[in-house]
Amino acid sequence: MSVRRDLGITGVLFAGTRSVLDGLFTTVLVLYFLLVAGNIFLRRVVEILPTFSNKRQAVDISQQIQEDISGYLLTITAMNAAVGIATAAAMYLCGLGDPLLWGATAFLLNYIPILGPLFGVCIFVLVGMLSFESLWWSLLPPVLYLGIHLVEGETLTPMLLARRFTLNPVLIILSLVFWFWMWGVLGAILAVPMLAILKIICDRLRPLKALGHFLEGE
């Protein structure tokens, strides 16, 4: 195996890593303030609703949103960390430089369903081609990354989240594209939680049950 070490691929391909990290930091900051202000919004909603049953329904919906979204974020973060560790180990074993960087990249990209892993495969194809002279060795990093993602994305995560979320995959992609266009990385990370919140609300309100059924996956 022959490895090219004079190309500075880390600097070339990840000159924009700082912007990705800034986007992640902004996301965490926004989520923190939303959690802090959540009780204030709930109190205001309860105060303006006319009947006790409406107030009780608002509280029930709020509690379900908090439980489901916090469970989703915790599960996704744990699985993303596992993907990052596995990717770093795989890149180290196949001889790719900066395995911790590639692990962190896989961790961050996995917050964006479907599009994130696809973008990750493209990154690892370029990294492999720039790092190794042999074609077969250059294909090893993207194959390993894809294999890790398939194990996580097609088996483990769906089993853990199946009871909480069953969203239409087409609507997930449309939501990702729209919110990425609106807010960049922040929007892409928040796209699925916002879609899930909308479905929870629709499922609990009789006039919106049809929309909730439309948002549901198989």
Nearest residue to 102 (alpha-carbon basis) of 123, 82, 119: 123
Number of structural domains the chain divides into: 1
Question: Following CA atoms 81, 123, 147, 74 in sequence, which dihedral angle do they give, to the nearest 10 degrees?
Answer: 20
Contacts (Cβ under 8 Å, ≥6 apart) of 91: 98, 99, 102, 103, 141, 144
Q: Is residue 120 part of a domain?
A: yes
In angstroms, the CA 122 to CA 126 distance is 6
Q: Is residue 127 part of a domain?
A: yes
**Would residue 30 count as lying in a domain?**
yes
Strand partners, 132: 3
Residue 27 lies in a domain: yes
Note the pTM of the prediction, 2 decimals.
0.70
- pLDDT tens-digit profile of 16-61? 555 555 655 666 666 666 666 666 766 777 777 778 787 888 788 8
pLDDT value of residue 24: 59
124 lies in which domain range? 9-165
Q: Which residues of the chain have pLDDT under 50?
A: 2-3, 5-7
195: in domain: no
Residue 182 lies in a domain: no
Asked if residue 41 belongs to a domain, the reply is: yes
Residue range 80-92, pLDDT digits in tens: 999 999 999 999 9
In a domain, 201, yes or no: no
